[in-house]
Amino acid sequence: MASISVPGAIAGQPARSKANYLNASSGFLSWAFTLDHKRIGVMYLVGIFTAFLLGGLFALLVRTELLTPGPTITTHDWYNRFFTLHGAIMVFIVIIPGIPAALGNFALPIMIGAKDVAFPRLNLASFYMWVIGTLFAISTLAFGAVDTGWTFYTPYSTKYAFNGMIPVVAGAFILGFSSIFTGLNFIVTIHKLRAPGMGWFGLPLFLWSLYATALVQILATPVLGITLLLLLVERTLGVGFFNPELGGDPVLFQHFFWFYSHPAVYIMILPAMGVMSELISVFSHKHIFGYKFIAFSSVAIALLGFLVWGHHMFVSGQSNLVGMIFSAITFTIAVPSAIKVFNWLATMYKGSISLNSPMLYALSFMWIFGIGGLTGLFLGTMATDVHLHDTYFVVAHFHYVMAGTIFVLFGGIHYWWPKMTGKMFNEPLARLSCLLLFVGFNVTFFTQFMMGSHGMPRRYYNYPAQFQMYHQISSAGSYIMGLGVILMVGYLLHSLARGRKAPDNPWGGATFEWRTSSPPPVENFHEQPVVDDLYDYEKLFWDEQAGGYVRREVPDGAARPAH
């Protein structure tokens, strides 16, 4: 959509070529060697969603195994491999790259009015590194798989675990490079390719969060890379880094691992919070409340995220003083997180809220992340953590936090789907799918809070009969979620074939991507958009004829019509 406003009329619709980034060229090679950030984003999305389905399948296998105590569908060895693969795939392959690599790649350059990212070739390279890392990780199934859990704790991983350890660790190492390259590309792109006149405080909040995430990615991921490299060296050459028998220190591995993996939680959550700011504002049709607070809280979360890894290790033998310090810093992270949540609430207050499917996902996130954050207080407090450590309470807590990200990823996919594909999906089915996921998720994991607080340890194949009811309810919830995901895949694929043509601006967004056609042309814009307030919805009006929102100057004294 043209950005030059025409008073009292629909913004100019100059004759445009029908070429867009999807149909500008065709054939496998045109996708395989593309340098277009949008195509790379779409390829990431397809890959990540496929990996999500695989990780979800392993989750369903785990939950099915736990329907009864003792053997149900498999042996304890394979059960261990199932939950390890579920965790490793979901964390390293799906959630960490999910929003930045898929949605960020698609949206970032358009949102700053650029034609592409700063380093398109590096972007493609990082996608292929993601593919290679993923193939390495999944190839573990052929090598006996891995049974260490996604944390790869030593010396179990270096001495005892199955042979799949080497490919999975190599895979995570390669995925780390993909993550670093993406972060690097985003930082340079935001610095150098912003549209003329777009200052730092004119950036959409999603991009502030991507910038903060990119900093964490670049700073923290090398720590994981070096740690995994040391683990590989220990496993293959017998050099004693972590194995006490070889003079190593297993607790050092935990320090290294969590020094990355706790910030990794923010690599997952920060982009989700960025998407949330967009969704809440757009679907409340109201200017975002506390722009600068939200922007700076992203940076604050990114920085504080580096200082709290020790709360994963309260029972590892670290001193009480160190534990107390980590505990105290952990609590401080609640401040910037709460700033965001309260600003979203304030944005919604007196807003004209549309309960479209992306907004439903956003509201689900607020519920889920709220519970995830509050239960984090129990685990961040040393005294209660000792009781709850390594129980299902922890499992439920981190699922509430991490899967919150998945909810936003789904919200973001629905939000940008019309822009990506040029097609609208079936909205009632989308709402039903969101409902199934929300209900299924809470049934699955709220139950786990209860059994965890009663002492059910995580990762166990067998359990006392008193926990069977909890496990069965939890498994039933996971099947409901599975149904929701299958439904989602169904209507999204259906929309590609039979979906209604998407208007340029179906939701009423004010950021640049809604000012270009759906799907966007190869170079993103027909005309360079003019920078103004990207959260100002006063100029957006619903247009029946276009089937979406259009930009007009508000006539003097005219009331703004609401859709």
Partner 1 sequence: MARDKGLKAQRARRPLAATSLAAKPGIPRALCPFIPLSLAMLLTFAGSVQAQIADRVPRELENVGIEQKLDAQAPLDLEFFDENGRPTTLRKLMDGKPAILTLNYYGCPTLCGEQLNGLLRTLKDMSWRPGTKFHILTVSFDPLETATLASAKKDAYLGELGDPSAAAGWHFLTGRKPSIEALTQAVGFTYKWNADQMQWAHSAATIILTPGGRISRYLGGLYNDASTMRLSLVEASEGRIGTLYDSLFLWCFHYDPDRNSYAPVAMNIMRLGGGVTVAAIALGLLSLWLFEMRRRRMAAALAG
Residues near partner 1, by CB under 8 A: 184, 187-188, 191-192, 196, 215, 218-219, 222-223, 225-227, 230, 233, 239-242, 247-249, 252, 256
What separation in angstroms does the CA of 213 have from each of 52, 85, 93, 126, 362?
A: 21, 25, 16, 16, 20
Short-list 323, 406, 342, CA closest to 48 = 406
> 312 or 515, CB closer to partner 1?
312
Residues forming a β-bridge with 543:
548
Q: Position of tokens 């549309």?
A: 354
Q: How far is the CB of 152 from partner 1 (least distance, A)?
A: 15
Q: Which tokens in the block code for residue 365?
A: 């996130």
Q: What angle do CA 545, 548, 552 make, to 5 degrees?
A: 85
**Cα dihedral 16, 17, 21, 24 in deg (nearest 10):** 180
User: Would you give the DSSP letter of residue 287?
Assistant: P
CB of 305 or CB of 484, closer to partner 1:
305
CA end-to-end span of the chain, whole Å? 19
Query: Cβ 194 to partner 1, closest distance in Å?
Result: 9
CB of 251 to partner 1, least distance (A): 11
Q: Give the residue with the Cβ less far from partner 1, 192 or 387.
A: 192
| Shortest distance (Å) from residue 306 CB to partner 1 | 11
Q: How far is the CB of 252 from partner 1 (least distance, A)?
A: 6
By beta-carbon proximity to partner 1, the closer residue of 216 and 403 is: 216
Q: Any residues with CB less than 8 A from the CB of 136 and at least 6 apart, and which? A: 167, 168, 170, 171, 174
Residue among 158, 155, 390, 150 nearest 250 (CA)? 155
Q: Is the dihedral of CA 490, 496, 497, 502 positive or negative?
A: positive
Cβ closest to partner 1, residue 220 vs residue 424: 220
| Cβ 175 vs Cβ 97: under 8 Å | yes
Q: Within 10 A of 387 (CB to CB), how many other CB atoms are there?
A: 12
> Using CA atoms, how far apart are residues 179 and 273, in angstroms rounded to an integer?
19
- Element (DSSP H or E) covering residue 132: helix 120-138
- Read off the DSSP letter of residue 555: P
> Around Cβ 475, how many Cβ atoms within 10 Å?
20
Residue 476 or 530: the one with the smaller Cβ distance to partner 1 is: 530
Specify the residue, 189 or 475, whose C-beta has the smaller distance to partner 1: 189
Helix/strand/coil for 423: strand
In the complex with partner 1, the residue whose CB is nearer, 70 or 196, is 196
Nearer Cβ to partner 1, position 264 or 424? 264
The answer for residues whose C-beta is within 8 angstroms of residue 96's C-beta and 6 or more apart is: 175, 179, 264, 267, 268
For the CB of residue 448, give the shortest distance to partner 1 in the complex, in Å: 34
Nearer to partner 1 by Cβ, of 56 and 248: the residue is: 248
Q: Look at phi and psi of residue 549 and say left if phi exceeds 0, alpha if psi is from -120 to 50, else beta.
A: beta
**How far apart are CB 383 and partner 1 at their closest, in Å?**
30
Calpha distance 182→425 (Å, rounded): 29
In the complex with partner 1, the residue whose CB is nearer, 256 or 535, is 256
Contact 337, 301 (CB under 8 A): yes
178: Cβ contacts below 8 Å, ≥ 6 apart: 97, 101, 126, 127, 129, 130, 133
Complex with partner 1: residue 75 or 236, whichever CB lies closer = 236
Q: C-beta of 201: minimal distance to partner 1 in Å?
A: 15
Distance in Å, CB of 158 to partner 1, minimum: 12
| Residue 281 DSSP SS3 | helix
Of 216 and 394, which CB lies nearer to partner 1 in the complex structure? 216
HSE of 339 in the Cβ direction (CA atoms, 13 Å)? 16
Contact between residue 72 and residue 64 where contact means Cβ atoms under 8 Å apart: yes
Q: How far is the CB of 134 from partner 1 (least distance, A)?
A: 24
Query: Least distance to partner 1 from the beta carbon of 277, Å?
Result: 24
In this structure, what token pair is assigned to residue 452? Answer: 């965890």
Minimum CB separation of residue 155 from partner 1 in Å reads 13
Residue 197 to residues 111, 283, 533: CA-CA distances in angstroms? 13, 26, 11
Residue 305 DSSP class: G
For partner 1, the closer of residues 202 and 457 by Cβ is 202
Q: Closest approach of Cβ 221 to partner 1, in Å?
A: 9
Phi, psi of 551, deg, nearest 5: -100, 130
Minimum distance between the CB of residue 151 and partner 1, rounded to whole angstroms? 17
User: Residue 277 in contact with residue 191, Cβ under 8 Å?
Assistant: no
